[in-house]
Amino acid sequence: MKNADILFNIKSRYKYYLTQSVEVFRTYKKAPLNILLVANTALLAGKDDADNLNTAYIDAGFIAQNAYLYCASAGLNCVVRLMIDRDEIRKTLGFDKKMYPVAGLTVGY
């Protein structure tokens, strides 16, 4: 495989994932259920903020995986969204800096 072929393959995958992301943004507002996963970093025992955020993301991954498994067993679709507007969420919900919106889960048919 030539370098140009590898680059084309990477661009094709990026375009596919970008297209999928746009479709998710178009449809998530219409979904019957959106779940917001929020970490209270004040309760985490990491050595610094970066350590606490790593823990929060790992925990959110466990939660998302369980949600996916339940949705699959119930015949529902589930999408994890990491591209969320954290500052807008904090402002709208009145969160302080210790409350960190980690991810969104969109559940639908």
Structure confidence at residue 82 as a pLDDT band (50, 70, 90): confident
Letter string b/e over residues 62-77, b meaning 16 or more CB atoms within 10 A of that residue's CB: ebbeebbeebeeeeee
Residue 8 has pLDDT above 70, yes or no: no
Residue 2 has pLDDT above 70, yes or no: no
* In the chain, domain spans: 1-30, 31-108
Give the integer Cα–Cα distance in Å for 65 and 26.
23
pLDDT for the residue 48: 85
Structure tokens at 100: 């960190």
For 42-73, what is each residue's pLDDT tens digit? 888 878 888 888 889 999 999 999 999 999 99
Q: How far is CA 103 from the centre of its chain?
A: 4
Per-residue pLDDT, averaged over 16-20, amounts to: 50
Residue 7 has pLDDT above 50, yes or no: no
Q: Rg of the Cα trace of the chain?
A: 17
Per-residue pLDDT, averaged over 85-101, amounts to: 88
What is residue 84's three-state secondary structure?
A: coil
Give the integer Cα–Cα distance in Å for 87 and 70.
30
Average pLDDT, the chain: 79
Q: Exposed, middle or buried by CB within 10 Å (0-12, 13-18, 19+), for 61?
A: middle
> Whole-model pTM?
0.70
Architecture of domain 31-108: 3-Layer(aba) Sandwich (3.40)
